Structure 1
Amino acid sequence: MGHFVLIDGNSVANRAFYALPLLSTSAGLHTNAVLGFTTMLLKVLEEMKPTHLMVAFDAGKVVFRHSEFAEYKGGRKKTPPELSEQFPLIRELLDAFSIKRFELDGYEADDIIGTLTKKADEQKWKTTVITGDKDMLQLVSEHVSVALTRKGVSEIELYTPQEITDKYGLLPLQIIDLKGLMGDTSDNIPGVPGVGEKTALKLLHEYGSVESVLEHVDQISGKKLQENIRENQDKAKLSKALATIMRDAPVELDVEETAYAGYDGTAVTEYFKKMEFKSLLGKVKGTSAKDAGEESAEAKPFAYEIVRAETAERYADKLVSPMAIYVEMDGDNYHHAPILGFGLADADVSLYVPWDVASQWPAFREWLADETKEKWTFDGKRDTVGLSWHELQIAGINFDVYLASYLLNATESNPTVDSIAQQYAQVRVHADEELYGKGAKRLVPETDVLSEHVARKAVAIWEAVPVLRTQLEENQLTKLLYDLEGPLSLVLAEMERQGVKVNSARLEQMGEELDRKLEELTKEIYELAGTSFNINSPKQLGEILFDKLSLPVLKKTKTGPSTSADVLEKLAPYHPIIEAILTFRQLGKLRSTYIEGLTKEIHTNTGKVHTLFNQATTATGRLSSTEPNLQNIPIRMEEGRKIREAFIPSEEGWYMLAADYSQIELRILAHISGDENLIDAFRKGMDIHTRTAMDVFGVSEDEVTSLMRRQAKAVNFGIVYGISDYGLSQNLNITRKEAGDFIERYFQVFSGVKNWMEEIVKQAKQDGYVTTLLHRRRYLPDIRSSNFNLRSFAERTAMNTPIQGTAADVIKLAMIRMKETLKDKGLRSRMLLQVHDELVFEVPEDELETMQKLVPEVMENALELNVPLKADVNYGRSWYDAK
């Protein structure tokens, strides 16, 4: 007996659609769901090797469940036309693969799968169901496994009865009871109001089923919960019925009829060509060069040449424009990494140039530095900076694959060449660690292996660029790459290479000061505890706090009571030892992460730190930095702020000058939402928190107390992040009801903000993504998730990303304009750092006056909004003094 695989067609197509950017062919056919479905299918054929295979689809709208519950699936948004139009293409795909597909009028794919798995189970077939729908877990048995799709559809998680027990502590059939109690918003199954997954699991672990829960309702702890269950008994029973997958639908089909004998490579190749899936053509098995119209990538050996010193000149005329180039470095930090060699490729040639040849070959060095010779790179900033440390200059970078890939899907951070090759090219590229090894076992591979690896990377870049260009165009992202991210990468390259001078003697002094404070705190903690112990040991700390001092246990972990920061903060009113422990921890982190961490990062040759600015890490488009990370120096604590004293100008007599945007996110919110009150406040130059307090509390300006302003400030900043009444109550230490009333009053006053927030979530549900003012996109695959927590997070993200992402765009624009302005005016001042909404410069004394006017002017005019942007500027002898 073989392996029977059943695929839930609608579920997989849906998840693929929301996980991948909206792609379309040159004829305008949308294909992202088809592409996701296809990659999943190829993976299933390769890894599961099914002998029997079938895809089930929903047929029509009328489902037998509607007669039981009129609102069933009523909460679902209409399927977007961009997805609907792909279902016929998916059916065509299955026909090309000779895979049986099945649908039954009035029934859903679940019922077809439920019925067939029952038949398969009775006949003891090894069966796997592939779906994105957790309801299917009820079908799991000794012979039936369910594979849930993850990360869109690129990964799957296999569930057998054991996995369900491990994860939920339930038997497969109890999944129906779980849905009966908690409901499922995606199918509009009501469940019991107020019962989420956690409560439902607790009840089922105790009582076993919905019926048993209803029988024992009087024994359930918690009056409110008892009441909810009593009042909603019918809903719970109905929900369980709705969640139950039918196992006896009139499916006149036997497992034997789904036998799968493989596919005809020619038919699949033709289909892939029609869909313009160039990157998948090489994965079609069993096609000859004649059938495919071209050789599959796997079939022909990879052809490339190694350039040797003695024959290098023969290749000089091969250095053309445009050309793909990959710079192979030994290590991730390109400020320190040796260069091993170069991969070069175009339509005619694929070369590997070892470092010792490249560095001594005048024609190559000349071509590399020639602005008129167009180069397609993987990561232009990395190449520019890495080469500059070896006295080589690269110019004429016209396309950056790394940035293009990131713009197309910002949630897939830090793309790699192998992942880009997989998505956008036909050539296969191994992941670096497959060839180099990891950690202590890392070794540079032999020349023959290394040379092919690097040449393949260059070919992957060459093949990926046209595909990426088309997709950027379709998604209105071309301008963002060429006008913003591309130019910014070169600005950042200059800042990284420049670096920031660090006063190591001052750092050492700070380390000694912190050691003294930590010593004093240790004594104080020992006195308050009445004994000495290891403060860094959660176990010993727990014994002191909860056994010896009898403080209340607020949260438990597997190893005992929790001593995490959030728990300690809540315990602060109970005992003075808590405050001391929190300070001890913060100072300890400062000592290890920043004093020691920064000291390690000082470059031996320059006495500076050369941070790596990451352009493709955050989903909002904000920059991050590593080695060292300058974004998270804790500035709320004076000791943390003082770390900035160590950052000083690199020239004698110069100053540090810092400028930061004032309330940029709220100003962007005013512009995007068009809220009249918010716009009016900013146009009048009022303090926005005071104005919010006036409007929300209905008082005049001089009646606003500091408490009112603080509360208004918390709401203003919280609103941008989609704050809840619970979140606000925690921030302000007020009741949830007070917080809820406050938010309600805020929305009455700033109704434009409320309307915009509702609209943006609605739009995100329809499109599957949100955009910033400059069209930066962020896809939100969970925006229609049936899981409340995932969906709520996606909704908050939908509100926050256009604001945060636009703020990121604005400061990036300001940096590009700033670089141009400094050059045009022939100023010696240098831009060194970007941290959140702040830009840091080093400035000679005779340019101080000019820069104090110039920097805010450039920053405030980076993008025209319907409210003014404002930047505050300060200077001093260190970054700390420029506050």
Structure 2
Amino acid sequence: MSEKIVLIDGNSLAYRAFFALPLLSNDKGIHTNAVYGFTMILMRILEEEKPSHILVAFDAGKTTFRHSTFQEYKGGRQKTPPELSEQMPFIRELLDAYKIKRYELVNYEADDIIGTLSKLAETNDAKIKVITGDKDLLQLVSDKTTVDITRKGITEVDSYTPAFLHEKLGISSDQVIDMKGLMGDTSDNIPGVPGVGEKTAIKLLKEFNTIENLYEHLDEVSGKKLKEKLEENKESAFMSKELATIYREAPIEVSIEDIHYEGFDEQAVVSLFKELKFQSLLDKMNISQVDEVVEMKDLSYETVDQIHKEMLTTEATLLVEVMDDHYHQADIQGIAIVNENGRYFVPTEVALSSSEFKEWAKDESAKKTVYDAKKAMVALKCKDVELKGIEFDLLIASYILNSSEATDDLATIARNKGYYDVQTDEAVYGKGAKRSVPSDERLSEHLIRKAEALHNLREQFEKELQQNQQLELYQELELPLAFILAEMEYTGVKVDEQRLKDMQQELSKRLEELEKEIYELAGESFNINSPKQLGVILFEKLNLPAIKKTKTGYSTSADVLEKLESEHAIIPAILTYRQLGKLNSTYLEGLLKVINKETKKVHTRFNQALTQTGRLSSTDPNLQNIPIRLEEGRKIRQAFVPSEEGWIVFAADYSQIELRVLAHIAGDEKLIDAFQNDMDIHTKTAMDVFNVEAGEVTSDMRRQAKAVNFGIVYGISDYGLSQGLGITRKEAGAFIEKYLESFPGVQEYMSDIVHEAKQNGFVSTLMQRRRYIPDITSRNFNLRSFAERTAMNTPIQGSAADIIKKAMIDLADALKEEGLQARLLLQVHDELIVEAPEEEIEKLKELVPRVMEHALELKVPLKVDYAYGPTWYDAK
């Protein structure tokens, strides 16, 4: 097999990658787009070319031997952006990790190194591939050397062979330097002949072959002006040719043998990708294979068949393994304990049958480090084991440190910190349909390794929380909240199954009626759920204006139909039909599927370590997304009832919490004054924006003011506001501008927070929750604009999320202190739902608002509304 030699122009590809990709950065604020793009190219080269030898050449400095010929050589180049300069050491580190030889030579350019090595390689009868973004290197093209020029960013290349070069330019590789001599090169400040471009240069070379021959036959050149230009700039043409010529006899100290490639250092590459946060590239490497490749150190441990006192110390790491996400009453695969005395794998049946283990588990003074406290607590409680004394939860700590990398896989989190002695769950259990419990030996080792990782990483995570001033957020908010959420998940919410079934029947009947109505309005029956058939009815038969077309026909998406709502009675009927159909399939059928047969309840899982704003979300079922705009949607809440006779549902929600947080953070006097005087904030906004008195504010003015108020909170653009209000983009822009003039504190906040995000790479909530925003300095306008809006709204949304979490903790404590039976059931956005005996209602009416309104002291009062009744629907 012949040798395959790949020579890479390092500087050229780094530039290409930098300008082709948005300005990404990692959680430490280091820019990474050039390294990322360079890596993508490198991975493709290794996969496609499979080189036997490889080298990356770099320019050694600004001055080369060419400057003695022409002092202004490359003089017009702009200074390298500092965002690129800071990435060059990482590119070099990347090459070292890949074990790829890199080389630079003082007084010479990367082109000269590549030219010299390719000439050497050609004498060895090797196949050579040169990879660059610079067409200067086309002069190296030969029967043995192909030059790949990157185009359209970093993913596509043109491969120049002698035939392709002739097809594209009509010249040979020898003539490339003559072409450059004539036309010059603005990027390298090579002057050439002024007024001679690529087309003219190629035309002349086709006729005269070389610059030398051209000037020997200058009289034969047609065109008086061209002849004069050539004559006047003869010296410049020959100098330019010399400058453009790659020197192929450079005194390099590297041989073909020195660049032999034997493969990369997998662990070093993985470690660098982790540092730079290149998760997608780790996925391309198939990280589960890395699990098998990375050599893990041996860990000795004991598999116990009986609990003994050495295991149950006052400080220990406890791992409770549950494979199933539906961990309410799911099987526990096993338990691992690591402490000062050793490592212990405890089979589930041994732990659950041991009174000593149960006593230790519920002992508050036995301090435990765990992973996903909520999951462990619920899983054990379902097996009649109370888990208390949890002092540290690595999952929550990891989430607080960087919410943008939310993952529930311990190995992934560990590897982000350079710890590799643990495999991913996917590598051990498999994926999808192949997911299964492995052999006892493999399972026990996996659990021990996970527990050991927890044991070893805790100190590092605590240190980072301390450095980020997030220890209080962790200790006072998120960890206590995990215990409350565990209790809520275990308790569940009782559902009236028969009521849901009755609602299904009612909804089916309503859908049938709507179907008939739509057919009558259309004048024929058709498949309402077929966008193609619906498009024909609406835009061909009924001649409604077609707003948008797709590859398959007319668009009948919700946003299109909403714009046509006033055009024909069929449109609102179709919109209602769709909404009710979704209610039936997603919510009624969905809820019926997840009712626990034993408890007659749904046990939703609250995702505490998922969203980037800090908000809780819920799954299986998602109780936060039950649509309540339609009365039929609101009625679904009728099926949620108290779990005991004589109890009621009590719901309390914050009024306009995000606008109140905005007033506090922005310190805007008008907003603060409005809230302190308990004014209707939307009326107040309308008064200021439209310059009218309170009595002159119309319902339409208030509606527009409300849209812009909430739009500001969510970082709305003029386009977004125009869509929401049905006005032009110009009108929406003017509206936002007038709003910001009216509330200068808000405008100043928006400007300051974007600046802060650019400086730090992140923004923070009132309780120091961070959100990293790498796109805030992107060169891509759309990415940067979205990032700026994210920077504006995250401190507001995130602080509101922190406040309701704090309210949950305070309320749980208050209910306990007052000796009440009332218990928290759900949190839905800004609302807390409690169930309680009827006799506790009077106490709750005073206690709940008081606790919630004092969860965090702001410059404006927090306001809570409440209601109660026999079902969640009635507590409105």
Same-fold call, TM > 0.5? yes
| Matching residue's letter, 2:710 | F
In structure 2, distance between residues paired with 1:388 and 1:408:
29
Deviates more, 1:437-446 or 1:683-692: 437-446
Post-superposition shift, 1:268? 8.5
In the alignment, which of 769, 774, 781 is matched to residue 781 of structure 1?
774
Distance 1:57 1:624, change over 3 A: farther
| Matching residue's letter, 2:683 | T
CA distances 1:471-499 after superposition (whole Å, capped 9, x unpaired)? 22222222211111111100111111111
In structure 1, distance between residues paired with 2:15 and 2:414:
28
* Residue matched to 1:302: 298
In structure 1, distance between residues paired with 2:384 and 2:513:
50
- 1:362-373 correspondence to structure 2 within 5 Å: 362-373=355-366
SS class of match (1:574): coil
In structure 2, distance between residues paired with 1:406 and 1:735:
41
Post-superposition shift, 1:519? 0.5
In structure 2, distance between residues paired with 1:399 and 1:34:
38
Post-superposition shift, 1:641? 1.0
Preserved contact between residue 641 and residue 871 of structure 2 (Cα < 8 Å): yes
Preserved contact between residue 661 and residue 871 of structure 1 (Cα < 8 Å): yes
* Residue matched to 1:284: none
* Residue matched to 1:316: 309
Preserved contact between residue 402 and residue 770 of structure 2 (Cα < 8 Å): yes
Preserved contact between residue 501 and residue 608 of structure 1 (Cα < 8 Å): yes
In structure 2, distance between residues paired with 1:256 and 1:406:
49
* Residue matched to 2:139: none
* Residue matched to 1:351: 344
In the alignment, which of 810, 831, 834 is matched to residue 838 of structure 1?
831
In the alignment, which of 658, 673, 677 is matched to residue 680 of structure 1?
673
- 1:755-794 correspondence to structure 2 within 5 Å: 755-794=748-787
Post-superposition shift, 1:33? 11
Preserved contact between residue 686 and residue 702 of structure 2 (Cα < 8 Å): yes
In the alignment, which of 418, 427, 430 is matched to residue 411 of structure 2?
418
* Residue matched to 2:559: 566
Distance 1:143 1:563, change over 3 A: farther
In structure 2, distance between residues paired with 1:248 and 1:770:
51
In structure 2, distance between residues paired with 1:503 and 1:264:
60
* Residue matched to 1:406: 399
Equivalent pairs, count: 748
Verify: 1:450 aligned to 2:443, yes or no. yes
CA distances 1:553-572 after superposition (whole Å, capped 9, x unpaired)? 32222322222111111222
Preserved contact between residue 142 and residue 160 of structure 1 (Cα < 8 Å): no
| Matching residue's letter, 1:342 | I
Distance 1:91 1:39, change over 3 A: closer
Preserved contact between residue 21 and residue 408 of structure 1 (Cα < 8 Å): no
Post-superposition shift, 1:784? 1.3
| Matching residue's letter, 2:566 | P
* Residue matched to 1:718: 711
Preserved contact between residue 424 and residue 463 of structure 1 (Cα < 8 Å): no
| Matching residue's letter, 1:259 | I
* Residue matched to 1:232: none
Post-superposition shift, 1:401? 1.1
In structure 1, distance between residues paired with 2:781 and 2:625:
31
CA distances 1:101-145 after superposition (whole Å, capped 9, x unpaired)? 6789999xxx9699969997998644678x9xxxxxxxxx98648
SS class of match (2:565): helix
SS class of match (1:572): coil
Verify: 1:335 aligned to 2:328, yes or no. yes
CA distances 1:18-75 after superposition (whole Å, capped 9, x unpaired)? 543239xxxxxx99999999999998999898742438589789x99997698x88xx
| Matching residue's letter, 1:307 | T
| Matching residue's letter, 2:603 | H
Verify: 1:875 aligned to 2:871, yes or no. no
Verify: 1:535 aligned to 2:511, yes or no. no
Post-superposition shift, 1:352? 2.0
Preserved contact between residue 554 and residue 567 of structure 1 (Cα < 8 Å): yes
* Residue matched to 1:798: 791
- 1:389-788 correspondence to structure 2 within 5 Å: 389-424=382-417, 426-788=419-781
* Residue matched to 1:384: 377
Structure 1: unaligned runs, 5 residues or longer: 24-29, 132-140, 150-156, 163-170, 172-188, 190-208, 210-245, 278-295
Post-superposition shift, 1:437? 3.1
Verify: 1:21 aligned to 2:27, yes or no. yes
Preserved contact between residue 96 and residue 263 of structure 1 (Cα < 8 Å): no
TM-score by length of 2: 0.76
Deviates more, 1:430-439 or 1:49-58: 49-58
In structure 1, distance between residues paired with 2:353 and 2:115:
67
* Residue matched to 1:52: 54
Preserved contact between residue 502 and residue 646 of structure 1 (Cα < 8 Å): yes
In structure 2, distance between residues paired with 1:768 and 1:543:
50
In structure 1, distance between residues paired with 2:453 and 2:666:
43
| Matching residue's letter, 1:21 | D
Post-superposition shift, 1:775? 1.0
Preserved contact between residue 10 and residue 57 of structure 1 (Cα < 8 Å): no
SS class of match (2:405): coil
Distance 1:681 1:441, change over 3 A: same
Structure 2: unaligned runs, 5 residues or longer: 64-70, 134-144, 160-167, 169-186, 188-198, 200-242, 278-291
Preserved contact between residue 18 and residue 779 of structure 1 (Cα < 8 Å): no
Post-superposition shift, 1:586? 0.3
Post-superposition shift, 1:344? 2.4
In structure 2, distance between residues paired with 1:546 and 1:115:
65
* Residue matched to 2:182: none
In structure 1, distance between residues paired with 2:22 and 2:565:
48
Post-superposition shift, 1:514? 0.6
* Residue matched to 1:205: none
Distance 1:405 1:106, change over 3 A: farther
Preserved contact between residue 22 and residue 778 of structure 2 (Cα < 8 Å): no
In structure 2, distance between residues paired with 1:785 and 1:756:
21
Preserved contact between residue 323 and residue 374 of structure 1 (Cα < 8 Å): yes
In structure 2, distance between residues paired with 1:35 and 1:346:
41
CA distances 1:269-303 after superposition (whole Å, capped 9, x unpaired)? 9x99xx999xxxxxxxxxxxxxxxxxx99556533
- 1:286-297 correspondence to structure 2 within 5 Å: none
| Matching residue's letter, 1:367 | W
| Matching residue's letter, 2:602 | V
Preserved contact between residue 64 and residue 106 of structure 1 (Cα < 8 Å): no
Post-superposition shift, 1:870? 0.9
Post-superposition shift, 1:759? 1.3
Preserved contact between residue 407 and residue 413 of structure 2 (Cα < 8 Å): no
In structure 1, distance between residues paired with 2:399 and 2:152:
26
SS class of match (2:686): helix
Post-superposition shift, 1:785? 1.4
Preserved contact between residue 296 and residue 422 of structure 2 (Cα < 8 Å): no
In the alignment, which of 804, 811, 816 is matched to residue 818 of structure 1?
811
Distance 1:350 1:823, change over 3 A: same
Post-superposition shift, 1:528? 1.3
TM-score by length of 1: 0.75
Distance 1:89 1:627, change over 3 A: closer
In structure 2, distance between residues paired with 1:32 and 1:316:
51
In structure 2, distance between residues paired with 1:559 and 1:276:
42
Post-superposition shift, 1:614? 0.2
Preserved contact between residue 327 and residue 375 of structure 2 (Cα < 8 Å): yes
In structure 1, distance between residues paired with 2:107 and 2:815:
69
Answer with 1 or 2: which has the greater Rg.
Answer: 2
In structure 1, distance between residues paired with 2:762 and 2:742:
28
| Matching residue's letter, 1:52 | I
